[in-house]
């Protein structure tokens, strides 16, 4: 695992140390990693929300046919096969 040094003002350092102590984290590094994971999830959620809103604004919906689903499955299988070859 790589390391990264950061500089914090005393007030932030104390805050982090308090969070570690009361949050049951084994170290400052564990606390920071959890913050980063939470931020990653939030950014993914926000990106998904953007895509959902694009879909909702893309016009009237249509009924999916069996042929539509077959085509989607076929495209997914092709993408998966291409990814496995590289």
Q: Which of 53, 10, 13, 19 is nearest to 38 (CA)?
A: 19
Give dist(CA 27, CA 23) in Å, integer. Answer: 10
**Is the pLDDT at 86 greater than 80, yes or no?**
no
Give per-residue burial for 46-84: e unless 16+ CB within 10 Å, then b.
eeeeeeeeeeeeeeeeeeeeeeeeeeeeeeeeeeeeeee
Query: Residue 1: is its pLDDT beyond 90?
Result: no
Q: Tell me: the pLDDT tens digits for 44-80?
A: 999 999 999 999 999 998 899 999 999 999 999 999 9
Residue 12 — pLDDT band, cuts 50, 70, 90?
very high
Task: Tell me the domain boundaries of the chain.
Answer: 10-85
Kindly report whether the global pTM for this prediction surpasses the value 0.75: no
Of 1 and 38, which is predicted with more confidence?
38
Mean pLDDT over 18-37 rounds to 96
* Average pLDDT of the chain to the nearest whole number: 95
Name the DSSP letter for residue 70: H
Distance, in Å, from the CA atom of 22 to the CA atom of 12, rounded to the nearest integer, reads: 15
């Amino acid at each position: 695992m790589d390391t990264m040094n950061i500089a914090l003002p005393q007030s932030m350092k104390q805050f982090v140390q308090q969070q570690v102590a009361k949050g049951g984290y084994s170290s400052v590094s564990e606390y920071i990693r959890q913050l980063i994971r939470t931020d990653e999830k939030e950014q993914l959620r926000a990106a998904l929300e953007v895509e959902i809103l694009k879909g909702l604004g893309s016009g009237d919906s249509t009924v999916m046919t069996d042929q539509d689903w077959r085509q989607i499955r076929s495209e997914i299988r092709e993408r998966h096969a291409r990814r496995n070859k590289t």
